[in-house]
Structure 1
């Protein structure tokens, strides 16, 4: 431990200022991660302060857990150690916005909602819309690889993130990627950071590719007779000339949560382009629906706000299920059957991007034991299709009983371990919470 005779708390206070360091019981308890209370809660106000705190942690052998809005602290394995919770909420500045280049650089603590409001003044957008996105920090969204309905058109954060500035495990500050779309050098580092949960470096600045806001938008709700009918519609839609911005498959419980008439299954489709094309594609969509035995009707844009709220859980669990696009209907049906078998009385809310084969499952009120059995059954169902099941949120007991990330093949895991050994050999950054306990 290299702290030159001074207490760690005193050194932290010298780095960030006493007002940015909390050591009192109330603050520490409020920053607990899975019940593990940190020794220190630090809210740095600059890149230099982040660097200084991490350098001290490296020298003193402390574990640092980064925090944005705190909305995803139940993602991953329970922590091995939590010495310092590093709250990045005050790094909330838009650093550079180039509307002509369609790029923006921000600090990691900027929320998606704050950035969206600013970009809207020039009719531009960063199409990242997972539940609760408005209040979630962009650094947190990148670290957790969060995505929402818009990925059907625009892809994920791996497609939108151009460059990162991050603090390494020893406190050194490093750039990865570029600020302009025309450069292709260094893009691998940003992609590594997406979904790494801050285990390879602490994100402090991010550069994104932007998109023009569509001139006109429309939402259609396609009601299907059953999950198989929904699959037929999705297959026909994706095989047509229609270019949707969102294609979300949803079950009856989600329809009910959105205060819509309940049916077996439905597909919500958003269209966004010039007004004439939106009208023409809407007419074509109605034809595709009829051709598969479904019925399409227009919905208001407010539908999407209610849809996002449907996946908020309280005292339960939330899963992310990845499968083949051609199997989303069958997977939705299996989720409902499995919950009925293992957790009678629980109504799962199931919905997700049918265009890429990702479903989200909200299970309010489910206990750890049936949730564990459900995860294991669903993993057995999707594994032959190359799928996966991730526990995005749930009680600690569940994430101790079942690996929240699921099994990883030896080859890919060896690569993950090698990266961790290179970026953070001392296991300073969020130790133990990522895949395989990395």
Structure 2
């Protein structure tokens, strides 16, 4: 497996390779999308893991895409800073791999998606060009945000080599509560009550398994404010129980533990206000699934031992304009119906990867 040490070396490797190319980080998300070609050349990105520019007083950082997100957070914590991104498997997954896979977590409710913190990027095209998009500073007005097109594109438009983020001060306090003993619909209603002032949480997650329903709520910020908000919420919901911050890591990573037997992983999405109407059909079609529902974001991650009726899920979502993507598992229609903007997507692919070398066939554009 090729392992470039610099971006220039990566570009040369791509330019000199004639067949299909598969960029890899930790290899944790290679199951997302269609399988790679058997004759593909794998490029290991993990040597591109250097922080090339970091001035803590500026609250910005530039880092190689091969760095593990958890390691970056550890370096930032020394300066009481962090990147508000709670992607699953963040202690092992690389930044480039997580961006290319489009993965984020419940903190998306309060902090926004990773794309909202991304300032710029260097990526390598299929013909070996190094392209810079965006910049390294917050007040950057140079050109279009073309780098954001690579988020969730699975490395089919270019290989993410280096990224720049804006940062946030590390929260002084981080507290959570859980509420159990209710239906998914009831948990959704509670989340929509608590999302408004004076509660103002940072994150919500409904953990739904065949055995229990649990609503997780998280607050981050100044200690006095967090304590006040948690106390108000617990007064409104007396059955709420306090939980530790580390419990979120365990919760988000548990479905990826092989001992849980989840051979199938789906990503389901629609407008948050439509989720409540979709729950009955979801529970009927996939009664044995474990689900992580972000009710105020409109994303459901579904884990199951066997593939549910994906066609039925898509039909149930049709009135709400939603989608179902088969991230892991055997299904001939992993991406669902062809999107209306497919022509634009194919033009971008042709412009940046004219010989169709980068992960050919893996994404919806082919």
TM-score range, shorter chain: over 0.9
Distance 1:80 1:66 in 2: 12
SS at match of 1:416: helix
Aligned match of 2:9? 49
Asked whether the equivalents of residues 127 and 354 of structure 2 are also in contact (C-alpha less than 8 Å), the reply is no
| 2:322 match | 387
Q: CA deviation at 1:81?
A: 5.7
C-alpha deviation, 1:53, in angstroms: 0.7
Counterpart selection for 1:350 from 291, 295, 298 = 291
1:408 pairs with 2:349: no
Query: Quick check: 2:209–2:289 contact (8 Å CA) kept in 1?
Result: no
Alignment of 1:300 with 2:244, yes or no, is yes
Q: Distance in 1 between matches of 2:196 and 2:249?
A: 28
Q: Which residue of 2 aligns with 1:138?
A: 95
Q: 1:330 Cα shift?
A: 4.5
Confirm or deny: 8 A CA contact 1:249 1:353 kept in the other structure: yes
Question: 1:267 is matched with which residue?
Answer: 215
Query: Which whole-Å CA distance do the structure 2 matches of 1:125 and 1:353 have between them?
Result: 22
* Unmatched tracts of structure 1, length 5 or more: 1-40, 254-261, 341-346
Structure 2 Cα separation of the partners of residues 84 and 309 of structure 1: 30
Q: Equivalent residue for 1:237?
A: 194
Contact 1:131–1:311 (Cα < 8 Å) also in 2: no
Q: Show CA shifts across 1:292-325 (max 9, x none).
A: xxx3121122211220133215461111111232
1:422 is aligned, of 351, 355, 361, to 351
Which of 362, 368, 380 is the aligned partner of 2:303?
362
Equivalent residue number for residue 64 of structure 1: 21
C-alpha distance after superposition, 1:101-160 (max 9, x if no partner): 111111111000110110000111112222211110001011111101211111112111
Unaligned runs of 5+ in 2: none
Counterpart check, 1:119 vs 2:76: yes
The secondary structure found in structure 2 opposite 1:135 is: coil
Equivalenced residues, count: 363
- Kept in 2: contact 1:142–1:195 (CA 8 A): yes
Q: 1 CA distance for matches of 2:209 and 2:122? A: 43
> 2:232 pairs with 244, 265, 284, which one?
284
Corresponding residue for residue 361 of structure 2: 432
Cα distance in structure 2, aligned partners of 1:74 and 1:207: 27
| Structure with larger Rg | 1
Equivalent residues of 1:163, 1:187 under 8 A apart: no
* TM-score, normalised by the number of residues in structure 2: 0.94
Residues 13-34 of structure 1: CA distance to partner in whole angstroms, max 9, x if unpaired? xxxxxxxxxxxxxxxxxxxxxx
The DSSP-based 3-state class of the residue aligned with 2:177 is strand
Give the structure-1-normalised TM-score.
Answer: 0.79
Structure-2 residue corresponding to 1:311: 255
| 1:51–1:171 contact (8 Å) kept in structure 2 | yes
**Residues 311, 189 of structure 1: CA spacing in aligned structure 2 closer, same or farther, 3 A cutoff?**
same
1:326 aligns with 2:270: no
C-alpha deviation, 1:354, in angstroms = 1.6
Instruction: Please point out which of 137, 152, 159 is paired with 1:202.
Output: 159
Give me the whole-angstrom Cα distance separating, in 2, the residues matched to 1:302 and 1:332.
29
| 2-structure distance, mates of 1:408, 1:103 | 38
Q: How does 1:81-96 map to 2 (within 5 A)?
A: 82-96=39-53
For 1:298, what is the secondary structure of its paired residue? strand
Does the 8 Å contact 1:168/1:424 carry over to 2?
yes
- 1:32 matched to which residue of 2? none
Considering fraction of residues, name the structure with more helix.
Answer: 1
Partner in structure 2 of residue 104 of structure 1: 61
SS at structure 2 position matched to 1:133: coil
In the alignment, which residue of structure 2 is the partner of 1:11?
Answer: none
1:145 and 1:430 map into 2 onto residues whose CA distance is 16
Distance 1:289 1:331, change over 3 A: farther
The Cα of 1:224 is off from its aligned counterpart by 4.7
Aligned to 2:177: 220
